[in-house]
Structure 1
Amino acid sequence: MFSLADRRRAAAVFLSLAGVAALSACSDSPDPGANAAQSPTASASETASSPSPSPSPSATYKPASADGPAENVPLPVMPEEAKVESKEGLIAFARHWYDLANYGYETGDVEPLWNISGPDCFACKNYSDSVESGYVRDDWMAGSKITVQGVDSTYARTPEGRVQALVQFIQEPLEFYGPSGLLSTLEGNSVSSVQMVEATYSDGRWTAVDVVTIHEGK
């Protein structure tokens, strides 16, 4: 059984493994959007506005900080393209998976990510345990934001019938807070890192069967 410290280390291990060269090796033709950074959550201006002339400050998205956990975090909505069985659909799905990973970091709610992941995804389990350990009692997490820089895929099927997408990203340091203040900090990665999402398509939806780390970045 993971200790609290082990789970927090697992968060960094899970989302700080790199291999920039692997992204270019994934396909002979690079993804046209490979360098476009993706925001994991909608901005406050993108959230629904209050019908009241003087909207309550509590209705506005507020990122986590040393002063407290994030507030009013919008749940990322899966884009329609991510529901299509195609290379473009797989790429959109992979981006959405990381959006939900960010949502878990901000809220402690990992259920949306599990809803699109397979039950045997070991990396998903490590991530889930790590996030949940960051929200024990009145604790919370800050930082941790993943920015997806590019996704690519050859869209070739493995013998198991899976298709793979390589995801290039950076991540902010993971900060763990409690009522008494900062508990611990884990390094993120300012140098682009790469992971592989293995997915299957069935009944009109993609599922991340596993998320495989490629190489540990320094």
Structure 2
Amino acid sequence: MIRTSARPAVPAARFGVLGLAAILVLGGCSGSTGEPNAEAAENSSSSASATNSSGPIESATPSTAPAPAAAYKPATAEGPAENVPLPIMPELAKRESKEGLIAFGAYWFSLLNYGYETGDASPVKALSTPECQLCELYYVDLEEGYENDDWIQGGKISISSSGSQFQKTSEGRYQLLLSIRQGAGVNRGPNGVIYGEGSAGDKQATAQIMEATYVSNHWVVNLVENM
């Protein structure tokens, strides 16, 4: 058995529940020339310019600390999430191995969550093929969920467990089995607008299967379905 699906692919997020679980520094350059005499002369000149008859003076260019990163804020009834950090792919997820596939699966689902919070589907698109039907529905989900000034609140997906026999199918793909759960979510609009009744979240985990291919030194998703 590879996969079966007895549940609908995905409800329209804008008019109801979210449903993915139901389907699924630039370096600075040194100013030194590398010559000891030149460096000594430069240091001597710097020392002379930094002092006068009254003693040392402050530099004309004060040092400044880097600005702190803007704080992340999850979506609320008042507005969408802010300053959502883009997940970074771990090195393990770049390897063609059983462990690499499992790490990639976790990373790919983290990109789904990023999309729910931002409306940006491009990270998922970059790692998924057009034949992934769930992916295509997900793109529509986000487009509708973030139409005009609307946004999605909640709906985060978590992975309870995952594993793989790491054997190629006849299509040259590797299969990853996952147990996932999606939290409560709702589609919102300005001035307190709510589209549909929202999702209460999954009470039980949903079994899903991911099929991925390793091409050009990275993984791409071909399929994600319920089992």
1:178–1:69 distance in 2 versus 1, CA, 3 Å? same
Give the whole-Å Cα distance in 2 for the aligned partners of 1:91 and 1:81.
9
Root-mean-square deviation (CA, aligned residues, Å) is 2.0
- 1:186 Cα deviation from its structure 2 partner: 2.4
1:11–1:206 distance in 2 versus 1, CA, 3 Å? farther
- 1:8 Cα deviation from its structure 2 partner: 4.0
Q: Percent same amino acid among aligned pairs?
A: 43
Does residue 199 in structure 1 map to residue 205 in structure 2? no
User: Based on CA coordinates, which of the two structures has the bigger radius of gyration?
Assistant: 2
Give the whole-Å Cα distance in 2 for the aligned partners of 1:138 and 1:194.
34
User: Structure 2: which 5+ residue stretches go unaligned?
Assistant: 1-10, 25-64
Question: 2:175 maps to which residue?
Answer: 164
Number of aligned pairs?
175
In the alignment, residue 158 of structure 1 is paired with which amino acid?
A: T
Q: Does the 8 Å contact 2:164/2:175 carry over to 1?
A: yes
Structure with the bigger RCO (C-alpha within 8 Å, sep 6+) is 1
Cα deviation 1:153-183 (Å, max 9, x = unaligned) = 1111111111100111211112111002141
Question: 1:128 maps to which residue?
Answer: 139
Question: 2:222 maps to which residue?
Answer: 209
Cα deviation 1:21-53 (Å, max 9, x = unaligned) = xxxxxxxxxxxxxxxxxxxxxxxxxxxxx824x
Give the whole-Å Cα distance in 2 for the aligned partners of 1:142 and 1:88.
32
Question: 2:22 maps to which residue?
Answer: 16
TM-score, L = length of structure 2: 0.72
User: Structure 1: which 5+ residue stretches go unaligned?
Assistant: 19-49
TM-score, L = length of structure 1: 0.75
1:157–1:9 distance in 2 versus 1, CA, 3 Å? farther
Give the whole-Å Cα distance in 2 for the aligned partners of 1:60 and 1:208.
32
- 1:16 Cα deviation from its structure 2 partner: 2.5
Question: 1:155 maps to which residue?
Answer: 166
Question: 1:39 maps to which residue?
Answer: none
Q: Determine which of 75, 92, 114 is the counterpart of 1:103.
A: 114
Deviant stretches of 4+, over 6 Å: none
